[in-house]
A and B are shown apart, each in its own frame.
Chain A
Amino acid sequence: MAEILLDVRGLTHRYAMTSSRSVTALDGVSFQIRHGEIFGLVGQSGSGKSTAARCIMNLLRPTGGDLHYKGVDLLDPKQRRENRRMLQTTRQLIFQDSASSLNPRMTLADIITEPMVINSVKPPRGSMRAEAEFQAAKVGLSPSCLDRRPPELSGGQRQRAAIARALCMEPELLIADEPVASLDVSVQAQILNLFRHFQTEHGFSLLFIAHDLSAVHWLCDRVGVLFHGLLVESAPTTELFENPLHPCTRALLSSVPLPDPRRERQRRLERFDTDTLPAAETLREVSPEHFVLKED
């Protein structure tokens, strides 16, 4: 079994709304990502998926828990400073909305090579331009796009550019926060294929955050289910889809639409009420690698 790349333990985050009120976005979430594995994080909107991604990228300061990446404590400023360069180059984030995560006033060529400029990496292919062309070709962007600015391009093309930007530093951990949610079906397929292709080629680990379970089923090795900031179940993909144990997971699975009228019309939604969630629960391993939140 490959060694653990990212270790998340008891991650908790609260957003302060006013001085007295706060909203718990993450409540003691624990999971591990191994080298070369695709880990899917699923859940409804508002279940804390993006918050987790931002905590891991150090964009948000978690209120509690431990985060270790390649043995570096991500919550310790000193260790972070010592490993700054390693953290910047080997962890990359892809946002959901490519329209807002790419600077509308930069050309695609500049966007793709920005991480190299920041980390003053000498371009292995001679010039930055050549590097941009190489990376663009890898994600299937024609060179004519490189002088365009993001608003002139389609959503699929922008998301390709975002992927090219993340991949040009050859990361070891790629975090993709709902990378296909705002794309059309056929473009979604293109982007999912790209992820799969690059993952096998480069062997990086991928944290794939999505609410579309069919994409997660197709792409991921292991899946964790978030519900209202709690990680209720995590298991290898086939195991989770065939044998869901937690009612939250079952409810989530029952909501997946099927492109098949007869089966789709027979599909019944399983209701799950927040109130029935017991107060004190711990994550237990019920079968190898299959963890479920259970009452104490």
Chain B
Amino acid sequence: MLYREAGQFKSSYAADQQIFPIRQDRIAVGAVLVFAFIVVPLTADQYWLSAILVPFLIFSLAAIGLNLLTGYAGQLSLGTAAFMAVGAFAAYNFLLRVPGMPVLVAFVLAGACAALVGILFGLPSLRIKGFYLAVATLAAQFFIVWALTKFGWFSNYSSSGVINAQKIEILGYRFDSPLSKYLLTLSIVAVLALAAKNMVRGTVGRSWMAVRDMDVAAEVIGFPMLRTKLSAFAVSSFYCGVAGALYAFCYLGTVEPEGFNLDLSFRILFMIILGGVGSILGSFLGAAFIVLFPIFLNSVAGPLEHAIGVKLPAGLMSNLELMIFGALIILFLIVEPHGLARLWQIGKEKLRLWPFPH
């Protein structure tokens, strides 16, 4: 309905292959960016910035990372949180141990460290597939968290194993207010999301999808299995690593390895299942849902008690939340295996074809 595409024709491949070939999409994306970079900073309060938007962005980034691996390359991973942990601790150590290390460089290096670890744990993917691989990634989850807890060097011998993220300073500007952290996170996430989008619509993305859809054929047309899968692990882990660093530096400020537990990995997996496997947009939608939904349930619980005057059993909401999440996962897998992103896609198609149904 809102899409008026008549007259939008492409006279070059460059125009045809741009990220958003439809003008209305470009306008919408522009509007979202304006909203995120200008409207939000002007209107959002601290709570929204630091408790919802920043984690939402960080989880989106992690979800993109997982989506690249699982959604695009078809390699199910349950170790996302561990790669985030690698990123968080690596960034901390780079800043701690290399004098004068710029923060952004540290983030990139943190991603690189996570990528290396990802490659290491991706090696088994050459021989094993499917949930065998999923189980193998659990090894990464448990081992990495254990190693970070166990070897004091990683946490600078902090007695508790907790690390305190250093202050973020870029070109003399201190990022310590929630707003500045939000803008920093937003910028990094926007850039990386764009890069992810570029990758998935380029050769490397096609190589991942090829391996996912039909690995023998992928190899036959010349995608080396080893390099392709490992590149997926590396890039995915890079994203998770950067997300982990942001998680420590822009969100919590202090983290302990146990914070990057299996539960977090599952949470991110849920984001992509609900949001949309194999979709960058889905990563954002899923993250938004998983971040907001519990908060929503939680914040209605108290007022609800007041309103109806009945004391709800302790934990009711939290248990319901678990059940609803579980049920939603199943529901989505049954009804719409491609998640919210597909629903969005369908809605958009409908709008494009409106008033026709097909």
Instruction: Determine if chain A interacts with chain B.
Output: no
Measured CB to CB, the residues of A under 8 A from B are none
